[in-house]
Amino acid sequence: MKLPIFIADAFTATAFRGNPAAVCLLENILEEDSHQQIAREMNLSETAFIRKLQPTDNFIQKNTNSTLTFVTLSGELKARKAEDGIVLDFPLYPTFPQDFHEVGDLIKAAIGDTLVQDIRYSPDTRKLLVRLSDSYDRSFLETLKVNTEPLPQIEKTGRVKGLILTLKGEPGGQAAPYDFYSRYFAPWVGLPEDPVTGSAHTILSSYWSQQLGKKEMRAFQCSRRGGELDISLRADGRVDMKGGAAIVLEGTLTA
């Protein structure tokens, strides 16, 4: 069995930055064990398997508006090509105030005595959003040592599956200004830190839109690889996220 396979870095225009993912193109359905074996071989946090719903489907002819619709295990995902990147169509999830005393042990274990300005919770995604004090800057968030190892033992009810740390941006202070910064951690699912996280920005977009009074924003995820997102909240309650993509590997998988 020979399968076309790619590694793409998303939310960046530069190779070896952004969020790396393997993409495997399938002509036929594979057994789930084969999916898992290929994913383990790729050794990345995400491996996507793309298959046409109908063998006769022709993406070029059917997508004259440059939009593709993917039917995924999480629902439909629409992607369209823009002049300067790819736009993903995501749901937008609200956040609700969270009492510090209910999650204080988790936060202290993760970031120690770092000053916290706001805490929110997203029941739709089971993500906890922790906004750091406005007295900190981007370099502080980038260099902050976050201890994720004990978090699954501290919070093991299943209520929290991801931790977002976020910080207000400095729109007027940099050559490439950003409205907000973030980092994302999910040790509950075996991911100590994710390089760039689209799902986290479905919550961050909602939160920062309310805080800043803006519908159009630019965000930077401060992982070691780093990633940029252009965010646009839509009137239908969804959010468009635009980012670059760099193909860093193209080949054939033999199995």
Q: In this structure, what token pair is assigned to residue 8?
A: 């793409």
In sequence order, what E strands does 153-223 have?
A: 162-168, 180-186, 191-194, 216-221
Q: In this structure, what token pair is assigned to residue 114?
A: 């770092």
Contact predicate 7/21, CB 8 Å: yes
Q: Which of 146, 227, 132 is nearest to 192 (CA)?
A: 146
Residue type, 193: E
Catalytic residue among 46, 142, 149, 155: 46
What's the rounded Cα separation, in Å, for the pair 182 and 197?
A: 10
Contact predicate 228/12, CB 8 Å: yes
Exposure on the CB side of residue 244, measured as CA atoms within 13 A: 15
216 an active-site residue?
no
Contact predicate 103/129, CB 8 Å: no
Contact predicate 107/100, CB 8 Å: yes
CB-CB neighbours of 144 under 10 Å: 17
CB-CB neighbours of 203 under 10 Å: 26
Angle at 74 between CA 35 and CA 150, to 5 degrees: 80
Residue type, 206: S
> Which residues participate in catalysis according to the annotation?
46
